[in-house]
Amino acid sequence: MIDALPEKPVPGDQILAELRALREADLPTHGGRLFAYVYDPAVDGLDELARQAYAVSASVNGLDPTAFPSLLAMENALVGAAARLLGGDPATVGSVTSGGTESLILAVKAARDAHPDLTDPRLVVPSTAHAAFAKAAHYLRVGLDVVPVKDLRADPAAMAAAIGPQTVLVAASAPSYAHGVVDPIPAIGALALERGVRFHVDACFGGWILPYLRRLGADLPPFDLSVPGVTSISVDLHKYAYTPKGVSILLHRTEELRRPQYFAYADWPGYTMINPVISSTRSGGPIAAALATMRSIGDTGYLSLATATREAVQILSSAVTSVDGVRLYAPPETGVVCLASDGVDLFVLADELAARGWHTQPQMAYRDLPPTIHLTVTASVRPTADAFAADLAAAVAAARARGPVEIPELPPLTPDMITPEFIAGLAEGLGLGGGDFSRMAEVNSLLNVAPPALREALLTGFLSLLQHPSQ
Ligand SMILES: *Cc1c(COP(=O)(O)O)cnc(C)c1O
Protein backbone atom coordinates (compact mmCIF):
# COMPACT_ATOMS: atom_id res chain seq x y z
CA MET A 1 0.00 0.00 0.00
CA ILE A 2 1.31 3.43 -0.93
CA ASP A 3 0.62 6.37 1.32
CA ALA A 4 0.24 9.48 -0.82
CA LEU A 5 0.23 11.65 2.28
CA PRO A 6 2.88 10.27 4.62
CA GLU A 7 3.32 11.97 7.94
CA LYS A 8 6.98 12.77 7.23
CA PRO A 9 8.65 13.60 3.90
CA VAL A 10 9.97 10.56 2.02
CA PRO A 11 13.41 10.72 0.32
CA GLY A 12 13.31 11.06 -3.47
CA ASP A 13 15.44 7.97 -4.11
CA GLN A 14 13.06 5.84 -2.12
CA ILE A 15 10.02 7.27 -3.93
CA LEU A 16 11.53 6.53 -7.33
CA ALA A 17 12.49 3.01 -6.28
CA GLU A 18 8.91 2.44 -5.15
CA LEU A 19 7.55 3.72 -8.45
CA ARG A 20 9.86 1.41 -10.39
CA ALA A 21 8.77 -1.51 -8.26
CA LEU A 22 5.12 -0.70 -8.96
CA ARG A 23 5.81 -0.54 -12.69
CA GLU A 24 7.02 -4.15 -12.66
CA ALA A 25 3.40 -5.33 -12.53
CA ASP A 26 2.65 -3.52 -15.83
CA LEU A 27 2.72 -4.98 -19.32
CA PRO A 28 6.08 -4.36 -21.05
CA THR A 29 5.96 -1.03 -22.92
CA HIS A 30 9.15 -1.84 -24.81
CA GLY A 31 10.39 -4.93 -26.59
CA GLY A 32 7.80 -5.27 -29.37
CA ARG A 33 5.50 -7.80 -27.70
CA LEU A 34 2.61 -5.57 -26.63
CA PHE A 35 0.04 -5.00 -29.38
CA ALA A 36 -2.18 -2.33 -27.84
CA TYR A 37 -2.06 0.78 -25.67
CA VAL A 38 1.52 1.80 -26.37
CA TYR A 39 3.33 2.81 -29.52
CA ASP A 40 7.04 2.19 -29.41
CA PRO A 41 9.44 3.20 -32.18
CA ALA A 42 12.39 1.51 -30.41
CA VAL A 43 14.68 4.44 -31.16
CA ASP A 44 17.65 4.74 -28.83
CA GLY A 45 17.65 7.80 -26.61
CA LEU A 46 14.21 9.00 -27.64
CA ASP A 47 12.53 8.29 -24.29
CA GLU A 48 15.22 10.22 -22.49
CA LEU A 49 14.94 13.19 -24.84
CA ALA A 50 11.15 13.28 -24.46
CA ARG A 51 11.48 13.07 -20.68
CA GLN A 52 13.87 15.99 -20.60
CA ALA A 53 11.68 18.09 -22.89
CA TYR A 54 8.68 17.22 -20.74
CA ALA A 55 10.51 18.44 -17.67
CA VAL A 56 11.39 21.76 -19.32
CA SER A 57 7.70 22.63 -19.85
CA ALA A 58 5.86 20.56 -17.24
CA SER A 59 4.81 23.52 -15.11
CA VAL A 60 3.88 25.85 -17.96
CA ASN A 61 0.10 26.38 -18.25
CA GLY A 62 -1.61 26.32 -21.63
CA LEU A 63 -4.52 28.27 -20.20
CA ASP A 64 -3.13 31.60 -21.37
CA PRO A 65 -0.83 31.69 -24.41
CA THR A 66 -0.03 35.35 -23.83
CA ALA A 67 1.51 34.41 -20.47
CA PHE A 68 3.37 31.44 -21.93
CA PRO A 69 4.18 32.18 -25.56
CA SER A 70 6.52 29.17 -25.57
CA LEU A 71 3.51 26.85 -25.57
CA LEU A 72 1.73 28.83 -28.27
CA ALA A 73 4.81 28.55 -30.48
CA MET A 74 5.08 24.81 -29.83
CA GLU A 75 1.39 24.20 -30.50
CA ASN A 76 1.48 26.20 -33.71
CA ALA A 77 4.49 24.15 -34.80
CA LEU A 78 2.71 20.85 -34.09
CA VAL A 79 -0.46 21.96 -35.89
CA GLY A 80 1.59 23.25 -38.81
CA ALA A 81 3.39 19.93 -39.18
CA ALA A 82 0.11 18.00 -39.05
CA ALA A 83 -1.45 20.31 -41.64
CA ARG A 84 1.52 19.77 -43.95
CA LEU A 85 1.38 16.00 -43.55
CA LEU A 86 -2.39 15.77 -43.93
CA GLY A 87 -3.12 17.75 -47.07
CA GLY A 88 -3.74 21.14 -45.45
CA ASP A 89 -3.26 24.49 -47.16
CA PRO A 90 -2.62 28.02 -45.85
CA ALA A 91 -6.25 28.27 -44.66
CA THR A 92 -5.92 25.18 -42.43
CA VAL A 93 -6.06 25.77 -38.66
CA GLY A 94 -6.14 23.40 -35.72
CA SER A 95 -5.81 22.72 -32.02
CA VAL A 96 -3.66 20.56 -29.81
CA THR A 97 -5.81 18.32 -27.61
CA SER A 98 -5.08 15.72 -24.96
CA GLY A 99 -6.03 12.73 -27.10
CA GLY A 100 -8.24 11.27 -29.79
CA THR A 101 -11.35 11.27 -27.67
CA GLU A 102 -11.01 14.98 -26.97
CA SER A 103 -10.36 15.70 -30.66
CA LEU A 104 -13.52 13.83 -31.63
CA ILE A 105 -15.66 15.45 -28.92
CA LEU A 106 -14.49 18.85 -30.16
CA ALA A 107 -15.15 18.02 -33.82
CA VAL A 108 -18.70 17.07 -32.84
CA LYS A 109 -19.09 20.16 -30.66
CA ALA A 110 -17.93 22.48 -33.44
CA ALA A 111 -20.42 20.87 -35.83
CA ARG A 112 -23.25 21.02 -33.32
CA ASP A 113 -22.64 24.62 -32.32
CA ALA A 114 -22.44 25.71 -35.94
CA HIS A 115 -26.20 25.02 -35.99
CA PRO A 116 -27.70 26.55 -32.84
CA ASP A 117 -31.08 26.54 -34.59
CA LEU A 118 -31.39 22.74 -34.79
CA THR A 119 -33.49 21.05 -32.09
CA ASP A 120 -32.16 17.51 -32.59
CA PRO A 121 -28.61 17.75 -33.98
CA ARG A 122 -27.37 14.38 -35.21
CA LEU A 123 -24.13 12.61 -36.11
CA VAL A 124 -23.85 9.92 -38.82
CA VAL A 125 -21.10 7.30 -38.38
CA PRO A 126 -20.33 3.85 -39.77
CA SER A 127 -20.68 1.04 -37.22
CA THR A 128 -16.89 0.64 -37.21
CA ALA A 129 -16.34 4.24 -36.01
CA HIS A 130 -14.48 4.54 -32.72
CA ALA A 131 -16.51 4.41 -29.50
CA ALA A 132 -15.33 7.95 -28.75
CA PHE A 133 -17.97 9.21 -31.21
CA ALA A 134 -20.67 7.60 -29.06
CA LYS A 135 -19.10 9.29 -26.05
CA ALA A 136 -19.11 12.65 -27.85
CA ALA A 137 -22.75 12.19 -28.85
CA HIS A 138 -23.63 11.26 -25.28
CA TYR A 139 -21.75 14.14 -23.64
CA LEU A 140 -23.06 16.68 -26.14
CA ARG A 141 -26.61 15.32 -26.43
CA VAL A 142 -26.21 14.84 -30.16
CA GLY A 143 -28.19 12.01 -31.75
CA LEU A 144 -26.08 9.12 -33.06
CA ASP A 145 -27.04 7.42 -36.33
CA VAL A 146 -24.96 4.26 -36.73
CA VAL A 147 -24.82 2.95 -40.29
CA PRO A 148 -23.94 -0.69 -41.10
CA VAL A 149 -20.69 -1.23 -43.00
CA LYS A 150 -19.98 -3.31 -46.08
CA ASP A 151 -16.92 -5.59 -45.93
CA LEU A 152 -15.82 -3.73 -42.79
CA ARG A 153 -15.80 -0.37 -44.62
CA ALA A 154 -18.25 2.56 -44.46
CA ASP A 155 -20.92 2.25 -47.15
CA PRO A 156 -21.38 5.66 -48.84
CA ALA A 157 -24.88 4.85 -50.15
CA ALA A 158 -26.08 3.80 -46.71
CA MET A 159 -24.41 6.87 -45.16
CA ALA A 160 -26.20 9.06 -47.74
CA ALA A 161 -29.52 7.54 -46.75
CA ALA A 162 -28.85 8.29 -43.08
CA ILE A 163 -28.17 12.01 -43.61
CA GLY A 164 -31.21 14.11 -42.74
CA PRO A 165 -32.07 17.76 -42.11
CA GLN A 166 -30.77 17.53 -38.52
CA THR A 167 -27.40 15.97 -39.46
CA VAL A 168 -24.58 18.28 -38.39
CA LEU A 169 -21.68 15.92 -39.03
CA VAL A 170 -20.73 12.80 -40.94
CA ALA A 171 -17.63 10.90 -39.86
CA ALA A 172 -15.49 8.01 -41.13
CA SER A 173 -12.19 6.38 -40.19
CA ALA A 174 -8.76 6.29 -41.76
CA PRO A 175 -8.33 3.58 -40.67
CA SER A 176 -10.80 2.01 -38.24
CA TYR A 177 -9.27 0.99 -34.93
CA ALA A 178 -10.79 -2.49 -34.72
CA HIS A 179 -9.81 -3.74 -38.18
CA GLY A 180 -7.32 -1.21 -39.52
CA VAL A 181 -9.11 -0.66 -42.81
CA VAL A 182 -9.58 2.73 -44.48
CA ASP A 183 -13.11 3.94 -45.26
CA PRO A 184 -13.85 5.28 -48.79
CA ILE A 185 -13.15 8.89 -47.83
CA PRO A 186 -13.41 10.42 -51.37
CA ALA A 187 -16.92 9.00 -51.92
CA ILE A 188 -18.11 10.18 -48.51
CA GLY A 189 -16.46 13.57 -49.09
CA ALA A 190 -18.38 13.98 -52.35
CA LEU A 191 -21.54 13.10 -50.51
CA ALA A 192 -20.88 15.57 -47.69
CA LEU A 193 -20.19 18.35 -50.21
CA GLU A 194 -23.37 17.60 -52.09
CA ARG A 195 -25.47 17.58 -48.91
CA GLY A 196 -23.72 20.58 -47.38
CA VAL A 197 -22.76 18.77 -44.18
CA ARG A 198 -19.46 18.75 -42.31
CA PHE A 199 -17.30 15.62 -42.70
CA HIS A 200 -14.77 14.57 -40.06
CA VAL A 201 -12.07 12.01 -40.87
CA ASP A 202 -10.98 10.14 -37.77
CA ALA A 203 -7.32 9.51 -38.52
CA CYS A 204 -6.51 9.36 -34.80
CA PHE A 205 -5.00 5.92 -35.23
CA GLY A 206 -3.40 6.14 -38.64
CA GLY A 207 -2.90 9.80 -39.43
CA TRP A 208 0.83 9.70 -38.80
CA ILE A 209 1.53 6.46 -40.66
CA LEU A 210 -0.84 6.41 -43.65
CA PRO A 211 0.97 9.23 -45.49
CA TYR A 212 4.24 7.32 -45.14
CA LEU A 213 2.71 3.99 -46.14
CA ARG A 214 1.34 5.72 -49.23
CA ARG A 215 4.81 7.08 -49.97
CA LEU A 216 6.13 3.54 -49.64
CA GLY A 217 3.72 2.45 -52.32
CA ALA A 218 0.86 1.02 -50.26
CA ASP A 219 -2.39 0.93 -52.17
CA LEU A 220 -4.43 3.25 -49.96
CA PRO A 221 -7.06 5.80 -51.00
CA PRO A 222 -6.62 9.51 -50.34
CA PHE A 223 -8.03 10.23 -46.89
CA ASP A 224 -6.97 13.69 -45.74
CA LEU A 225 -7.79 17.38 -46.25
CA SER A 226 -6.77 17.08 -49.89
CA VAL A 227 -10.05 15.22 -50.42
CA PRO A 228 -12.89 17.61 -51.33
CA GLY A 229 -15.62 17.62 -48.70
CA VAL A 230 -13.42 16.73 -45.73
CA THR A 231 -13.88 19.61 -43.26
CA SER A 232 -11.85 18.32 -40.31
CA ILE A 233 -9.41 15.53 -39.46
CA SER A 234 -7.87 14.27 -36.23
CA VAL A 235 -4.53 12.56 -35.66
CA ASP A 236 -3.14 11.32 -32.36
CA LEU A 237 0.50 12.18 -31.98
CA HIS A 238 0.69 9.69 -29.12
CA LYS A 239 0.05 6.88 -31.60
CA TYR A 240 2.17 6.66 -34.76
CA ALA A 241 4.00 9.95 -34.15
CA TYR A 242 5.37 7.99 -31.16
CA THR A 243 5.14 10.89 -28.72
CA PRO A 244 4.46 10.39 -25.00
CA LYS A 245 0.79 10.21 -24.04
CA GLY A 246 -1.51 13.20 -24.02
CA VAL A 247 -1.25 14.81 -27.46
CA SER A 248 -3.60 14.76 -30.44
CA ILE A 249 -4.29 17.27 -33.20
CA LEU A 250 -7.64 18.39 -34.57
CA LEU A 251 -7.41 20.21 -37.91
CA HIS A 252 -10.17 22.22 -39.59
CA ARG A 253 -10.17 23.21 -43.23
CA THR A 254 -10.82 26.88 -42.31
CA GLU A 255 -10.87 29.17 -39.32
CA GLU A 256 -14.60 29.67 -39.80
CA LEU A 257 -15.21 25.94 -39.36
CA ARG A 258 -13.13 25.92 -36.16
CA ARG A 259 -14.86 28.92 -34.58
CA PRO A 260 -17.74 27.09 -32.82
CA GLN A 261 -15.20 24.75 -31.21
CA TYR A 262 -14.16 27.53 -28.79
CA PHE A 263 -15.82 28.11 -25.45
CA ALA A 264 -15.72 31.68 -24.13
CA TYR A 265 -17.11 33.05 -20.91
CA ALA A 266 -16.75 36.57 -19.55
CA ASP A 267 -19.84 36.75 -17.32
CA TRP A 268 -18.26 36.08 -13.92
CA PRO A 269 -15.94 38.04 -11.63
CA GLY A 270 -12.77 36.14 -12.55
CA TYR A 271 -10.62 36.06 -15.71
CA THR A 272 -12.34 35.84 -19.06
CA MET A 273 -12.09 32.20 -19.99
CA ILE A 274 -11.37 31.43 -23.64
CA ASN A 275 -10.81 27.71 -24.24
CA PRO A 276 -10.22 26.09 -27.62
CA VAL A 277 -10.28 22.63 -26.00
CA ILE A 278 -12.00 20.87 -23.10
CA SER A 279 -9.34 21.39 -20.43
CA SER A 280 -8.60 24.87 -19.25
CA THR A 281 -5.39 24.51 -17.25
CA ARG A 282 -3.11 22.30 -19.34
CA SER A 283 0.45 21.16 -18.76
CA GLY A 284 3.05 22.09 -21.32
CA GLY A 285 4.87 18.81 -20.63
CA PRO A 286 3.20 16.56 -23.22
CA ILE A 287 3.38 19.30 -25.85
CA ALA A 288 7.09 19.91 -25.39
CA ALA A 289 7.74 16.16 -25.30
CA ALA A 290 5.79 15.74 -28.55
CA LEU A 291 7.70 18.51 -30.27
CA ALA A 292 11.03 17.06 -29.16
CA THR A 293 10.06 13.57 -30.32
CA MET A 294 8.93 14.75 -33.74
CA ARG A 295 11.94 16.98 -34.33
CA SER A 296 14.22 14.17 -33.29
CA ILE A 297 12.63 11.61 -35.62
CA GLY A 298 11.95 13.92 -38.56
CA ASP A 299 10.28 13.12 -41.85
CA THR A 300 12.96 10.64 -42.97
CA GLY A 301 12.79 8.97 -39.58
CA TYR A 302 9.03 8.48 -39.84
CA LEU A 303 9.50 6.98 -43.29
CA SER A 304 11.96 4.44 -41.87
CA LEU A 305 9.64 3.67 -38.97
CA ALA A 306 6.76 3.13 -41.40
CA THR A 307 9.01 0.80 -43.43
CA ALA A 308 9.77 -1.25 -40.32
CA THR A 309 6.11 -1.30 -39.32
CA ARG A 310 5.03 -2.38 -42.78
CA GLU A 311 7.54 -5.23 -42.78
CA ALA A 312 6.38 -6.29 -39.32
CA VAL A 313 2.74 -6.27 -40.46
CA GLN A 314 3.69 -8.46 -43.42
CA ILE A 315 5.60 -10.92 -41.25
CA LEU A 316 2.80 -11.21 -38.69
CA SER A 317 0.16 -11.51 -41.40
CA SER A 318 2.01 -14.32 -43.14
CA ALA A 319 2.31 -16.06 -39.79
CA VAL A 320 -1.46 -15.84 -39.33
CA THR A 321 -2.08 -17.07 -42.85
CA SER A 322 0.30 -20.00 -42.50
CA VAL A 323 -0.93 -21.30 -39.15
CA ASP A 324 -3.89 -23.65 -39.25
CA GLY A 325 -6.66 -22.58 -36.86
CA VAL A 326 -6.41 -18.83 -37.36
CA ARG A 327 -7.09 -16.57 -40.32
CA LEU A 328 -6.76 -12.90 -41.20
CA TYR A 329 -10.06 -11.21 -40.52
CA ALA A 330 -9.30 -7.91 -42.29
CA PRO A 331 -6.81 -6.97 -44.99
CA PRO A 332 -3.61 -5.89 -43.19
CA GLU A 333 -3.35 -2.64 -45.13
CA THR A 334 -2.22 -0.31 -42.32
CA GLY A 335 -0.74 -0.93 -38.87
CA VAL A 336 -3.31 -3.46 -37.68
CA VAL A 337 -3.31 -7.22 -37.95
CA CYS A 338 -6.76 -8.54 -37.06
CA LEU A 339 -7.29 -12.27 -36.83
CA ALA A 340 -10.18 -14.63 -36.24
CA SER A 341 -9.99 -18.24 -35.18
CA ASP A 342 -11.13 -21.37 -36.97
CA GLY A 343 -11.91 -24.22 -34.61
CA VAL A 344 -9.97 -22.96 -31.60
CA ASP A 345 -11.32 -20.82 -28.78
CA LEU A 346 -10.14 -17.31 -29.56
CA PHE A 347 -10.01 -16.20 -25.93
CA VAL A 348 -8.02 -19.25 -24.90
CA LEU A 349 -5.68 -18.47 -27.77
CA ALA A 350 -5.22 -14.90 -26.47
CA ASP A 351 -4.27 -16.34 -23.06
CA GLU A 352 -1.85 -18.80 -24.67
CA LEU A 353 -0.21 -15.97 -26.61
CA ALA A 354 0.05 -13.95 -23.40
CA ALA A 355 1.65 -16.93 -21.66
CA ARG A 356 4.29 -16.81 -24.42
CA GLY A 357 4.84 -13.09 -23.88
CA TRP A 358 2.64 -11.71 -26.71
CA HIS A 359 0.06 -9.34 -25.32
CA THR A 360 -2.81 -8.94 -27.76
CA GLN A 361 -6.22 -7.30 -27.59
CA PRO A 362 -9.26 -9.59 -27.82
CA GLN A 363 -12.30 -7.95 -29.43
CA MET A 364 -15.78 -9.25 -28.59
CA ALA A 365 -18.33 -10.40 -31.13
CA TYR A 366 -20.39 -7.53 -32.52
CA ARG A 367 -23.68 -8.11 -34.33
CA ASP A 368 -22.75 -10.49 -37.16
CA LEU A 369 -18.98 -10.10 -36.65
CA PRO A 370 -17.17 -12.87 -34.74
CA PRO A 371 -14.75 -12.16 -31.90
CA THR A 372 -11.28 -11.28 -33.16
CA ILE A 373 -7.80 -10.57 -31.87
CA HIS A 374 -6.39 -7.12 -32.60
CA LEU A 375 -2.69 -6.40 -32.97
CA THR A 376 -1.54 -2.81 -33.20
CA VAL A 377 1.83 -3.14 -34.89
CA THR A 378 4.51 -0.52 -34.32
CA ALA A 379 8.09 -0.20 -35.49
CA SER A 380 9.36 -1.91 -32.34
CA VAL A 381 7.72 -5.15 -33.51
CA ARG A 382 10.02 -5.48 -36.54
CA PRO A 383 12.90 -7.16 -34.65
CA THR A 384 10.58 -9.54 -32.75
CA ALA A 385 8.15 -10.32 -35.59
CA ASP A 386 10.06 -13.34 -36.84
CA ALA A 387 9.65 -15.05 -33.47
CA PHE A 388 5.87 -14.68 -33.63
CA ALA A 389 5.05 -17.41 -36.17
CA ALA A 390 6.47 -20.27 -34.09
CA ASP A 391 4.80 -19.01 -30.92
CA LEU A 392 1.50 -18.53 -32.73
CA ALA A 393 1.57 -22.13 -33.94
CA ALA A 394 2.40 -23.34 -30.43
CA ALA A 395 -0.32 -21.16 -28.90
CA VAL A 396 -2.91 -22.46 -31.36
CA ALA A 397 -1.89 -26.04 -30.59
CA ALA A 398 -2.12 -25.38 -26.86
CA ALA A 399 -5.52 -23.67 -27.25
CA ARG A 400 -6.75 -26.63 -29.26
CA ALA A 401 -5.53 -29.04 -26.59
CA ARG A 402 -7.18 -27.05 -23.83
CA GLY A 403 -10.47 -26.74 -25.70
CA PRO A 404 -13.00 -23.99 -25.21
CA VAL A 405 -13.51 -22.61 -21.71
CA GLU A 406 -16.70 -23.36 -19.92
CA ILE A 407 -18.73 -20.26 -19.29
CA PRO A 408 -19.83 -20.16 -15.66
CA GLU A 409 -23.53 -20.73 -15.12
CA LEU A 410 -25.22 -17.46 -14.27
CA PRO A 411 -28.88 -16.62 -13.83
CA PRO A 412 -30.30 -14.49 -16.66
CA LEU A 413 -28.91 -11.02 -15.98
CA THR A 414 -30.06 -7.52 -16.81
CA PRO A 415 -27.95 -4.39 -16.31
CA ASP A 416 -30.02 -3.24 -13.31
CA MET A 417 -29.08 -6.43 -11.44
CA ILE A 418 -25.40 -5.54 -11.50
CA THR A 419 -24.90 -4.21 -7.99
CA PRO A 420 -21.51 -3.67 -6.31
CA GLU A 421 -22.18 -6.80 -4.20
CA PHE A 422 -22.94 -8.90 -7.27
CA ILE A 423 -19.75 -7.69 -8.97
CA ALA A 424 -17.63 -8.37 -5.91
CA GLY A 425 -19.00 -11.92 -5.73
CA LEU A 426 -18.52 -12.53 -9.44
CA ALA A 427 -14.96 -11.18 -9.41
CA GLU A 428 -14.12 -13.45 -6.49
CA GLY A 429 -15.69 -16.45 -8.23
CA LEU A 430 -13.72 -15.73 -11.43
CA GLY A 431 -10.45 -15.44 -9.51
CA LEU A 432 -9.98 -11.74 -10.25
CA GLY A 433 -9.70 -10.80 -6.60
CA GLY A 434 -5.91 -11.01 -6.45
CA GLY A 435 -5.19 -8.66 -9.34
CA ASP A 436 -3.85 -11.35 -11.68
CA PHE A 437 -5.33 -10.71 -15.12
CA SER A 438 -3.19 -13.13 -17.14
CA ARG A 439 -5.84 -15.87 -17.56
CA MET A 440 -8.82 -14.04 -18.99
CA ALA A 441 -10.48 -16.59 -21.31
CA GLU A 442 -13.30 -17.37 -18.92
CA VAL A 443 -14.02 -13.71 -18.24
CA ASN A 444 -13.79 -12.77 -21.91
CA SER A 445 -16.07 -15.65 -22.93
CA LEU A 446 -18.62 -14.45 -20.42
CA LEU A 447 -18.38 -10.87 -21.64
CA ASN A 448 -18.53 -12.03 -25.24
CA VAL A 449 -22.00 -13.52 -24.82
CA ALA A 450 -23.29 -10.57 -22.79
CA PRO A 451 -25.37 -8.08 -24.80
CA PRO A 452 -23.65 -4.66 -25.04
CA ALA A 453 -25.65 -3.00 -22.24
CA LEU A 454 -24.92 -5.88 -19.88
CA ARG A 455 -21.24 -5.92 -20.81
CA GLU A 456 -21.08 -2.19 -20.13
CA ALA A 457 -22.70 -2.67 -16.71
CA LEU A 458 -20.41 -5.59 -15.80
CA LEU A 459 -17.21 -3.80 -16.76
CA THR A 460 -18.29 -0.49 -15.23
CA GLY A 461 -19.05 -2.36 -12.02
CA PHE A 462 -15.69 -4.12 -12.15
CA LEU A 463 -13.75 -0.90 -12.77
CA SER A 464 -15.65 0.74 -9.96
CA LEU A 465 -14.72 -2.18 -7.72
CA LEU A 466 -11.04 -1.66 -8.57
CA GLN A 467 -11.24 2.08 -8.06
CA HIS A 468 -11.49 2.25 -4.33
CA PRO A 469 -9.20 4.47 -2.27
CA SER A 470 -6.37 2.61 -0.55
CA GLN A 471 -6.95 2.57 3.20
C1 LIG B 1 -7.24 5.76 -30.30
C2 LIG B 1 -8.36 6.19 -31.17
C3 LIG B 1 -9.30 7.13 -30.75
C4 LIG B 1 -9.34 7.64 -29.31
O5 LIG B 1 -8.15 8.19 -28.92
P6 LIG B 1 -7.67 8.33 -27.40
O7 LIG B 1 -6.37 9.01 -27.57
O8 LIG B 1 -7.58 6.95 -26.82
O9 LIG B 1 -8.66 9.18 -26.67
C10 LIG B 1 -10.24 7.55 -31.66
N11 LIG B 1 -10.29 7.04 -32.91
C12 LIG B 1 -9.42 6.11 -33.33
C13 LIG B 1 -9.53 5.59 -34.73
C14 LIG B 1 -8.43 5.65 -32.47
O15 LIG B 1 -7.57 4.71 -32.89
Give the span between the Cα atoms of 74 and 60, in whole angstroms: 12
Reply yes or no on whether the pLDDT at 8 is more than 80.
yes
The fold adopted by the segment(s) 52-292 is Aspartate Aminotransferase; domain 2 (3.40.640)
pLDDT > 70: what percent of the chain? 100
Q: What is the pLDDT of residues 250-287, one digit of tens each?
A: 999 999 999 999 999 999 999 999 999 999 999 999 99
Atom of ligand 1 nearest to the CA of 203: 13
Q: What is the pLDDT of residues 365-411, one digit of tens each?
A: 999 999 999 999 999 999 999 999 999 999 999 999 999 998 877 78
**Ligand 1 in contact with 360 (CB < 6 A)?**
no
Residue among 355, 441, 443, 446 at smallest CA distance from 404: 441
Q: What is the DSSP string of 308-327?
A: HHHHHHHHHHHHHHHSTTEE
**Ligand 1 in contact with 207 (CB < 6 A)?**
no
**Ligand 1 in contact with 244 (CB < 6 A)?**
no
**Ligand 1 in contact with 205 (CB < 6 A)?**
yes
Q: What is the pLDDT of residues 297-307, one digit of tens each?
A: 999 999 999 99
- Give how far Cα 4 sits from Cα of 9, 15, 18, 173, 469, Å: 10, 11, 12, 41, 11
Query: How far does the centroid of ligand 1 lie from the alpha carbon of residue 100, in Å?
Result: 4
Give the span between the Cα atoms of 438 and 182, in whole angstroms: 32
Omega into 175 within 30° of 0, i.e. cis? yes
Atom of ligand 1 nearest to the CA of 101: 9
Strands 273-275 and 326-328, by their bridges, are: unpaired
Query: How far does the centroid of ligand 1 lie from the alpha carbon of residue 5, in Å?
Result: 34
**Ligand 1 in contact with 204 (CB < 6 A)?**
yes
**Ligand 1 in contact with 99 (CB < 6 A)?**
yes
Reply yes or no on whether the pLDDT at 434 is more than 90.
no
Query: How far does the centroid of ligand 1 lie from the alpha carbon of residue 98, in Å?
Result: 11
> Which of 204, 210, 239, 242, when mutated, tests ligand 1's pocket best, judged by the most ligand atoms within 8 Å of its CB?
204
Residue among 356, 383, 86 at smallest CA distance from 232: 86
Q: What is the pLDDT of residues 41-65, one digit of tens each?
A: 999 999 999 999 999 999 999 999 9
Question: Which helix (H) or strand (E) is 374 found in, with range?
Answer: strand 372-376
Tell me if 339 sits within 8 A of 329, measured CB to CB: yes
DSSP bridge partners of 326: 341
Give the span between the Cα atoms of 37 and 250, in whole angstroms: 21
Q: What is the pLDDT of residues 321-330, one digit of tens each?
A: 999 999 999 9
Return the SS3 of 249: strand
Atom of ligand 1 nearest to the CA of 239: 1
Q: What pLDDT score does 245 carry?
A: 97
Atom of ligand 1 nearest to the CA of 99: 7
Please, what's the b/e burial string for 69-103 (b: 16 or more CB within 10 A of its CB; e: otherwise)? eebeebbebbbebbbebbbbeeebbbbbbbbbbbb
Query: How far does the centroid of ligand 1 lie from the alpha carbon of residue 357, in Å?
Result: 25
Name the burial class of residue 378, with classes exposed (0-12), middle (13-18) and buried (19+) by CB atoms within 10 angstroms of its CB.
Answer: buried
Residue among 358, 316, 357, 310 at smallest CA distance from 339: 316
Tell me if 62 sits within 8 A of 68, measured CB to CB: yes
Query: How far does the centroid of ligand 1 lie from the alpha carbon of residue 204, in Å?
Result: 5
Q: What pLDDT score does 409 carry?
A: 79
Tell me if 245 sits within 8 A of 286, measured CB to CB: yes
**Ligand 1 in contact with 388 (CB < 6 A)?**
no
Atom of ligand 1 nearest to the CA of 98: 7
Q: What is the pLDDT of residues 121-159, one digit of tens each?
A: 999 999 999 999 999 999 999 999 999 999 999 999 999
> Which of 35, 98, 101, 201, when mutated, tests ligand 1's pocket best, judged by the most ligand atoms within 8 Å of its CB?
101
Reply yes or no on whether the pLDDT at 433 is more than 80.
no
Return the SS3 of 263: strand
Return the domain boundaries, the chain: 52-292, 415-466
Residue-averaged pLDDT of the chain: 96
**Ligand 1 in contact with 333 (CB < 6 A)?**
no
**Ligand 1 in contact with 174 (CB < 6 A)?**
no
Query: How far does the centroid of ligand 1 lie from the alpha carbon of residue 272, in Å?
Result: 31
Give the span between the Cα atoms of 251 and 169, in whole angstroms: 15
Query: How far does the centroid of ligand 1 lie from the alpha carbon of residue 181, in Å?
Result: 15
Give the span between the Cα atoms of 153 and 376, in whole angstroms: 18
Reply yes or no on whether the pLDDT at 195 is more than 90.
yes
**Ligand 1 in contact with 101 (CB < 6 A)?**
yes
> Which of 102, 130, 210, when mutated, tests ligand 1's pocket best, judged by the most ligand atoms within 8 Å of its CB?
130
Atom of ligand 1 nearest to the CA of 238: 7
Protein residue whose Cα sits closest to atom 4 of ligand 1: 100
Question: Edge-to-edge, what's the strand order for the sheet holding 248-252?
Answer: 93-97, 248-252, 232-236, 198-202, 167-173, 122-126, 143-147
Q: What pLDDT score does 5 carry?
A: 96
Atom of ligand 1 nearest to the CA of 175: 13
Kindly give, in sequence order, each residue whose CB lies less than 8 Å from that of residue 238, ignoring residues fewer than 6 positions away.
Answer: 39, 99, 244, 245, 246, 247, 248, 286, 290
DSSP bridge partners of 10: none
Query: How far does the centroid of ligand 1 lie from the alpha carbon of residue 335, in Å?
Result: 14
| pTM confidence score | 0.97
* Radius of gyration of the chain, Cα coordinates, nearest whole angstrom: 23
Name the burial class of residue 271, with classes exposed (0-12), middle (13-18) and buried (19+) by CB atoms within 10 angstroms of its CB.
Answer: exposed
